[in-house]
Amino acid sequence: MLPPVAASLPELQRRYADLYTRVSRVMPELEWQAHLPWIDAILRLKKQRNAVILAHNYQSPEIFHAVADLTGDSLALAQQATRTDADVIVLCGVHFMAETAKVLNPAKTVLIPDLEAGCSLAASITAADVRLLKQRYPGVPVVAYVNTSAEVKAEVDVCCTSANAVHVVESLGSDRVIFLPDQYLGKWVATQTKVKLILWHGACEVHDRFTAAQMRGIRAEQGEVHILAHPECTPEVLAEADFVGSTAAMVTHLRKAQPKRVVMITECSMSDNVSAEFPHIEFTRPCNLCPYMKKNTLPKIHNVLQNMSNRIEIAPEVIERARRSLERMLAVGRREAA
């Protein structure tokens, strides 16, 4: 099935020539031409629906650069979701991100291109698990990584992202904190603070696949290369990296360090999307694809906008409780910025 075409291919090429310059390093022109009818149809539908598209850094370049209005990591998307005046939010990411947008905007319509775009990390823990943890450690505050379901967020004291996890943990003023569900992010946070962390044993299947041997192999093969690793990787991988940080922190680091050659130890599309901002930097592999992030496609975005389908629905009582934990996270960020 093809979208309704409003112009010829040459006209679309002229109309969206500036967009192609952003992705030309990572996308052949023939592939771009195949995307153009969908891009044009989506941009027209957005206006009709008063919709905004939020895209995570791990989305494919044709989504991230061509149809998204707001982009970033989990923290940036959570913040931006609270500022939009649009009636409809299309969240191009995974299910927990769409839930977060709905929790922060309960009166708005939130759509996700594919309801099966899940997350191995979010699936590693349930609300019942959190309740059992609180029974085992009474009085110990609970921090949940945003890579969790709305039901889990409703059971915890505050949420965090990889970008602000240390600040959130220390904001609680407790000598012990339950940190869930990512064990590797938790282990990294533990190296940055004196607070004792009680960890869950979840992991991201994308970042868990990287190995320290791979990192050493990269240096042996490529020589002078700057390795940036996401804190969801194992401690052994992080020990081999030149920089450890969230996807947003990686971009900030690149602006400051300006290395000649970089490998980003995270999801593949991150390098493709960041390379548009740093044309003078050589981005090399390896990387791992997230099968859930890649469930989002231009035809699926068009479909949900056209049919207003795949709506995110959350029980009001869950929204109310989950919203508190998210707002506490955002409040920590505002205090840090002040």
Chain mean pLDDT for the chain: 94
Helix ranges (DSSP H) in 59-94: 61-64, 74-81
pLDDT at 229 (0 to 100): 97
Give the residue, 75 or 124, on which the prediction is more confident: 124
Euclidean distance between CA atoms 160 and 164, whole angstroms? 6
Compute CA distances 272 → 42, 53, 239, whole Å.
22, 19, 25
pLDDT at 116 (0 to 100): 96
pLDDT at 338 (0 to 100): 40
Residue 309 has pLDDT above 70, yes or no: yes
Give residue 337's pLDDT band: very low, low, confident or very high (50, 70, 90).
very low
pLDDT at 334 (0 to 100): 63
User: Which domains are seen in the chain, by residue range?
Assistant: 9-118+293-307 (3.40.50.10800), 122-202+314-337 (3.40.50.10800), 207-284 (3.40.50.10800)
Residue 108 has pLDDT above 50, yes or no: yes
Average pLDDT of the residues in 216-236 = 95
End-to-end CA distance of the chain: give it in Å, rounded.
50
pLDDT at 333 (0 to 100): 65
pTM: 0.91
